[in-house]
Structure 1
């Protein structure tokens, strides 16, 4: 199983000018590290508005001009610079966006899925591919001539997914694919994403819905206050005793089926000088206040915590 995507120590901040010419750099992602293999679904799970979608925009090379980016991205072993991002975008790497607003309200959905073509021959080839993909996801020929406003929520998601698959990409990024859907459409969306894995695709699933991550992903990366703090196999998320980070444990214990045990505290909004979970952590150490632990491997789990061997080394 080959490695598709590597994201190493990604940080993203934005330059803003306030009160005239006073420059302010606002950091949203501080240190994000993940990898995705062929035939694998990796979920990045974090709260709404935490900046998870910026990961997708960074991979695709569509961040705004005032973004400052550090870290390294690789695709199939090659450094993913802006030039390569633009060459692969919409071909080998495709986005399944979260909103029907990504569709042109004045264009029929079949033509949007087909996209621009250099000649009539290419248009015919893409039309056959479009109809094949639409049929695969239960969209009959009558859907081709519909405009986005005529689609149900579930149909719109399938159109967005089908559009991403027209070019037969190897890596798909599903950015919040389920909010606003009814239960049946959520289950269909989960199954559609799982089917991509069965066809050898790698999928990056960005979501704030833990149940969607649990039902869909093979591995889950917990995103907290700009940092990935744990990456673990989905099987281990069924029981708080099988995950390592205290925040991950608290997250699982807060689920209704586990008694809805809530803990006090909120995620810090600004930059922190130490561990991002320090103020809420029940097992924090003195060093946690002013030192940020690295994301390190511990018994097959990636963990950012000084309480585990390896994270303490050299601190």
Structure 2
């Protein structure tokens, strides 16, 4: 059962160029993704593909110059700005990419306690700190006194104690040692096993595959494939989209084959399929219109040639 649905999401930013001319850059276009209760969906793709913007759009924290279209629903009801505000940090929690989200003027123990919805906030904070190997002295520290890894574990702690039904984790593991990464991922898996939903935004496909149920591949601001995690194996024979295959083959353990070209800038998107200029399978038909997402082999793909 879908707990969070994003359909045909587009996000544009209004900017002013030389001479105060107004322009609009579409950074997300026709993006579709669903989160199901009890599931971990890993969102992967290169920098600039729209992964973090998707998280901010869901939570309603995009900057004022952003224009949003499409439909987002939570538990079957539309996510209006008022509803986003009511749910944010309560039923939908963010583990942000930047540690700057911590309040520099508040001790971190108190910050974590403010996210506890029920029960003893102090005990909840101390239990989660213990799980993340943060000593009792850490709760009395300010953010500037924390290492990068400690700050990330504090952000993880805030989400974990919130009692949220959905956790959106935006690159939650950089700067953490392998033991803590494994433990953090296991907590996300535990969270999903309790019937909640996790969106794990990451560059690290290998770590995501340890816990994810499905993988959503983003390219140039849109979804190009949604597949079961087990499809990402071997030489990528089960993967559907040419970009997803190329991304998989580019990993060191999978031949380390580079992808030719680069992802287009939002101000210079090509006509038709956004990956066509880099795709060996591209035909003139690919340049006519951006393909629709379509079902294929128990997944979804945005490619007319995928089989």
Q: Give the TM-score, by structure 1 length.
A: 0.90
Specify the alignment match of 2:71 in structure 1: 72
Structure 1 residue runs without a partner (length 5+)? 310-315
Q: For residues 127 and 260 of structure 1, what CA distance do their matches in structure 2 show? A: 48
Q: Indicate if the aligned counterparts of 1:157 and 1:189 stay in contact, CA closer than 8 A.
A: no
Partner of residue 203, structure 2: 208
Residues 87-127 of structure 1 deviation map (CA, whole Å, 9 limit, x = unaligned):
1011100101123221123321111112289xxxx998433
What are the residue-to-residue correspondences of 1:296-307 with 2, within 5 Å?
A: 296-307=294-305
After superposition, the CA RMSD in angstroms is 2.1
User: What SS does structure 1 have at the residue aligned with 2:274?
Assistant: coil
Name the residue aligned to 2:29. Answer: 30
Partner-residue secondary structure (3-state), 1:12? strand
**What do residues 17-73 of structure 1 show as CA deviations (whole Å, max 9, x unaligned)?**
112331100111112101011111101111123331111111111111110111110
Does 1:294 find its partner at 2:292? Answer: yes
Distance 2:132 2:207 in 1: 19
- Bigger mean CA deviation after superposition, 299-308 or 209-218: 209-218
Mark the runs of 5 or more structure 2 residues left unpaired by the alignment.
none
Within 5 Å, which residues of 2 pair with 1:38-187? 38-115=37-114, 125-187=120-182
Residue number in structure 2 paired with 1:221: 216
- Contact kept, 8 Å, 1:16 with 1:24, in 2: the verdict is yes
Q: How does 1:2-17 map to 2 (within 5 A)?
A: 2-17=1-16
TM-score by length of 2: 0.92
One of 235, 243, 252 as aligned partner of 1:247: 243
Q: Distance in 2 between matches of 1:242 and 1:291?
A: 25
Tell me, what secondary structure is at the counterpart of 1:307? coil
Does the CA contact (< 8 Å) of 1:10 and 1:29 recur in 2?
A: yes
Secondary structure of 2:94's partner?
Answer: strand
Task: State how far apart, in whole Å, the 2-side matches of 1:179 and 1:87 are.
Answer: 30
How much has 1:237 moved relative to structure 2?
0.5
Inter-partner Cα distance in structure 1 for 2:197 and 2:293: 23
